[in-house]
Structure 1
Amino acid sequence: MNWDQVEGKWRELKGKAQAKWGDITDDEWHSTEGRREQLVGLVQEKYGRAKEVAEREVDEWLRTL
């Protein structure tokens, strides 16, 4: 799956993302609309990850879909 597909299926995939990153609020999930950079930023902010670590974590999540 690629990010274009994630954006197109965001309503379906949001629940899986919420299960992994439960500290992110519903409003924050809604604002990402499945965009990778916004998701990486939220993971960085909420979990105190370095950008490279957050990017790797988000990409690993994508591979599990």
Structure 2
Amino acid sequence: MRETEYRARGNWNELKGKMKQQYGDLTDDDLTYEEGRQDEWLGRMQQRVGKTKHEIKEWIDRL
């Protein structure tokens, strides 16, 4: 694994932890992100946390 890929995964794991802290009912499956499926993932998150896609993007940016 390249160093930049390792750092990106580490950052994502840290972000997932913060998201779970704020929304304790989020599961690892909810937070599984697949390359090229951002809209699908955002839709899933939208259903789970009750926010718009725009609000979710802003929330993630603030974390």
Q: CA RMSD in A?
A: 2.8
- Whether the 8 Å contact between 1:21 and 1:43 is mirrored in structure 2 is no
- Whether the 8 Å contact between 2:46 and 2:53 is mirrored in structure 1 is yes
Give the one of 51, 54, 59 matched to 1:52: 54
Q: Gapped runs of 5+ residues in structure 2? A: none
Give the one of 17, 25, 38 matched to 2:27: 25
Larger-gyration structure (1/2): 2
Tell me which stretches of 4 or more aligned residues in structure 1 moved more than 6 Å: none
Aligned residues: 52
TM-score (norm 2): 0.53
Q: Gapped runs of 5+ residues in structure 1? A: none
- Quick one: higher RCO (CA 8 Å, sep 6+), 1 or 2? 1
Report sequence identity in percent: 29
